[in-house]
Amino acid sequence: MPPVVRRLPAYEPPAGAVVIPRPRLRPHPRPVRVPVPDPPSPALDAVRLVGVVLEVLDGRRPGRLLREVATPGLATRLGLLVRSRTTRMLRPPRVCHPSQFAAEIAVTIRRDERVLAVAARAEHTDDRWHFTAFTVLE
């Protein structure tokens, strides 16, 4: 709540004037605005969702699974990146919910003796989470 600034009463009466004290009025309490909490976000299994994409990119799962976890344009783009290699997550993904139906995911992975970062965005539509962006930062 922002601070309230009020004008102070005069410290001294004007010279030669007779001052009749006024009774102090009690200020009316201001209503307090209580924010309504947002409903909880739908359940998101970020480990499974990221794991499916990484396994497809490594060639350990069929590419058709990308259509189930990503938007059509992203699934096509990721399908071009499939190569035989070994990738594993080093830690569980970090998930941030900028809104109720959107999640931003960051995870650190190890691929062929290199440590890389993955940044992804998922959105909840049709009772499922779908990736709308997925980037391996090399």
CA–CA gap between residue 66 and residue 27 (Å, rounded): 63
Reported CATH class of domain 46-137:
alpha beta
* pTM of the full structure: 0.69
Q: Where are the domains of the chain?
A: 46-137
Torsion of CA 71, 74, 76, 80, to 10 degrees: -150
Q: For each of the chain's 138 residues, which pLDDT tens digit applies? A: 678 888 877 777 667 767 677 777 777 788 888 888 777 778 999 999 999 999 999 999 999 999 999 999 999 999 999 999 999 999 999 999 998 899 999 999 999 889 999 999 999 988 899 999 999 998
CA trace torsion 86, 118, 41, 38 (10° rounding): 170
Beta-ladder partners of 109: 89, 116
